[in-house]
């Protein structure tokens, strides 16, 4: 296979392994205190344009239902989509390597200084920022996919069951999942 001439687009527009590492590292480091889903969407959909909004939302849903950490699942999904198993490993490495080192350092500092009141205020501020990022993502994605009364009602039912009544997510999904499938299932058009 020959290299493309200067000025011609690459024949393979998918990201390299190194691009996957850097993108998921950027997601991990930008989302200090939470908000990984919001940053994943921002990088993967908006900045890199590796996925469309609908595909990202479907992948996010699938990653949340599967066992394991949601964003590790997303890294595996995106990495596998573009570069197979090596891509999945690269994305997970990017998502976790530097943050693990940061957390080890912060953990050591926390155990040394956990009694300092200003540290508690900093942690509360970081938690508030994470909540704001999550709400921002919900609003942005909701505008794209909550069109019509059925999706809005399904969203509200899930929110009420899980967010207000604090039912386990699997219980809420067991109730809302079949209703969602019934609503979205393709139907034959009457002639």
Q: Which of 69, 89, 90, 88 is nearest to 79 (CA)?
A: 88
Q: Which H/E stretch holds residue 134?
A: helix 117-145
Task: Give the model confidence (pLDDT) of 30-49 as tens digits.
Answer: 876 667 888 899 999 999 99
Global pTM?
0.60
Pick 188 or 168 by higher pLDDT. Answer: 168
pLDDT tier for residue 96 given thresholds of 50, 70 and 90:
very high
Task: Give the model confidence (pLDDT) of 127-168 as tens digits.
Answer: 888 778 778 877 887 787 788 888 889 989 988 998 899 999
Q: Which of 52, 53, 80, 45 is nearest to 66 (CA)?
A: 80
How far is it, in rounded angstroms, from Cα 41 to Cα 39?
5
Task: Classify 48 as helix, strand or coil.
Answer: coil
Write down the H helix ranges in 50-116. Answer: 53-65, 70-113
Domain segments of the chain as ranges: 17-116
Q: How many Cβ atoms from other residues are within 10 Å of residue 77's Cβ?
A: 22
């Amino acid at each position: 296979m020959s290299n493309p001439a200067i000025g011609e687009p690459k024949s393979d527009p998918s990201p390299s392994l190194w691009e996957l590492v850097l993108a998921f590292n950027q997601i991990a480091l930008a989302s200090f205190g939470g908000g990984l889903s919001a940053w994943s969407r921002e990088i993967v959909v908006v900045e890199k344009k590796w996925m469309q909004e609908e595909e990202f939302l479907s992948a996010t849903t699938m990653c949340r239902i599967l066992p394991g950490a949601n964003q590790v699942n997303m890294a595996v999904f995106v990495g596998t989509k573009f570069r197979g198993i090596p891509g999945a490993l690269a994305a997970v490495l990017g998502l976790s390597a530097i943050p693990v080192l940061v957390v080890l350092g912060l953990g050591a500092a926390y155990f040394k200084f956990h009694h300092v009141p200003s540290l508690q205020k900093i942690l509360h501020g970081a938690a508030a920022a994470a909540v704001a990022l999550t709400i921002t993502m919900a609003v942005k994605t909701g505008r794209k996919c909550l069109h019509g009364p059925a999706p809005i009602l399904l969203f509200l039912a899930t929110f009420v069951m899980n967010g207000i009544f604090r039912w386990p997510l699997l219980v809420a999904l067991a109730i809302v999942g079949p209703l969602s499938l019934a609503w979205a299932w393709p139907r034959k058009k009457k002639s």
